[in-house]
Structure 1
Amino acid sequence: MTAIEQYLIDTYRTAQHGGPPPPPPGRDDVAAVRAARCYEQFHAVLEGRSAHHPWRAALHRLLARGGA
């Protein structure tokens, strides 16, 4: 079952019971990615590492090794 199908079933069920509709799938994806990034940056600071964007740091490490 896809996320859309599950969403439609959940929407139907809540409509039958008079409850508020569930959030559509994917609505909070950007917020979840931001929270994960902030969490990683926070732990980087606690460990004494640079708090730059983790992808930027990974790209820098990759390029510093000569691309391999």
Structure 2
Amino acid sequence: MSITQQHALDTYRAQHLGEIPPPAPGTYDRQTTRELRGRLEFRAVLTGRPARGRLRRALGRLVRPRPRSAC
């Protein structure tokens, strides 16, 4: 059974039971991925490993701000 078929079945069941239908597949994928990445970066910092990605860039901007261009 595909994801789409499972979602259709779950929606049908929810409708007949008077419940709220489930969200469509993939609705919260980006949010979940960002939260997982943030949690992993936070754990890395707590264990003493260097931060990577967005967290490292944000911390780097606080420590040494970029000079602004005159243009």
TM-score scaled to structure 2, two decimals?
A: 0.68
Q: CA RMSD in A?
A: 1.5
Deviations 1:21-58 (A, max 9, x none): 1111111111111111011111111121221229xxxx
Structure 2 unmatched ranges of 5 or more:
55-71
Structure 1 CA distance, aligned partners of 2:27 and 2:15? 20
Q: Secondary structure at the match of 2:6?
A: helix
- Runs in 1 of length 4+ with deviation above 3 angstroms? none
Structure 1 unmatched ranges of 5 or more:
55-68
Q: Which amino acid aligns with 2:46?
A: L
Equivalences for residues 1-68 of structure 1 within 5 A? 1-53=1-53
TM-score scaled to structure 1, two decimals?
A: 0.71
